[in-house]
Amino acid sequence: MHKDVKKILISEEEIVKRCEELGRQITADYEAKQEAPLLVGLLKGSVPFLAELIKHIDMDIMFDFMDVSSYEGTQSVGNIRVIKDLDSSINGVSILLVEDIVDTGRTLAEVKRMLLNKGAKEVKIVSLLDKPQRRVVDISADYVGFAVPNEFVIGYGLDFDQKYRNLPYVGVLKDELYE
């Protein structure tokens, strides 16, 4: 375990097992609809999760990435800046947004609205983690890996000051590091 980590909440083994289950469910759902989704990962937190999840989706999917940032100091929805946009048109495309964690829900609500405005046929969401207690916008992921308590978590893509994204598990940092 990394020296800065206080405790591991979700092990690598549990994450891989959950990705198998999610992959199976996603495959079945989209097979039933007879269409393959375009997976859209939100940089950078979704990268490890997307990389594991796609191994367990048994259909010909494609994936792309977007990077967005919210304007600091504003509480209003409708304020999001696109840092990296998608490579191609999504008109008529079924999108499966891949996220690391749904916290307040603001990011996903904004991105979802933006993608629908650009003509996406539908936008579903898969998130590795969910912190339902922190939600301020009425949005939920269609597929969730794990619910986590109201604690700041790191690892498996999630950062603290851009660090710890490469940890193969989800954990909590030692208290002194947050000070």
Assigned token pair, 167 = 């940890």
Binding flag, residue 155, Mg ion (CB under 5 A): no
Active site residue 103: yes
Question: Contact between 159 and ligand 5GP (CB under 6 A)?
Answer: yes
Q: In this structure, are residues 138 and 121 in contact, taking their beta carbons and an 8 Å threshold?
A: no
Q: At residue 84, what are phi and psi to the nearest 5 degrees?
A: -135, 125
Q: How far is the CB of 89 from ligand 5GP (least distance, A)?
A: 25
Q: How far apart are CA 110 and CA 79, in angstroms?
A: 8
For residue 145, state whether it binds ligand 5GP (rule: CB under 6 A): no
Within 41-148, residue ranges assigned H as helices are 47-53, 106-117
Using CB distances below 5 to 8 A depending on partner kind, what does residue 18 bind out of ligand 5GP, Mg ion, none? none
91-130 mask for ligand 5GP (x: CB under 6 A)? --------xxxxxxxxx-----------------------
Tokens representing 42? Answer: 């939100």
Tokens at 30, concatenated: 């989209």
Binding-residue pattern over the window 30 to 69 for ligand 5GP, x denoting contact by CB under 6 A: ---------------x------------------------
**Dihedral angle computed from the Cα positions of residues 17, 22, 24 and 25, in that order, rounded to the nearest 10 degrees:** 150
Looking at 1-9, 25-33, 61-69, 155-163, which segment touches ligand 5GP (CB under 6 A)? 155-163
Task: Count CB atoms within 10 A of the CB of residue 159.
Answer: 15
d(CA 165, CA 57): 23
Amino acid at 132: P
Verify binding: residue 141, ligand 5GP, rule CB under 6 A. no
* CB of 142 or CB of 159, closer to Mg ion: 159
Identify which of residues 93 and 125 has a Cβ nearer to ligand 5GP in the complex: 125
9 binds ligand 5GP (CB under 6 A): no
Interacting residues toward Mg ion by CB under 5 A: 45, 100, 159
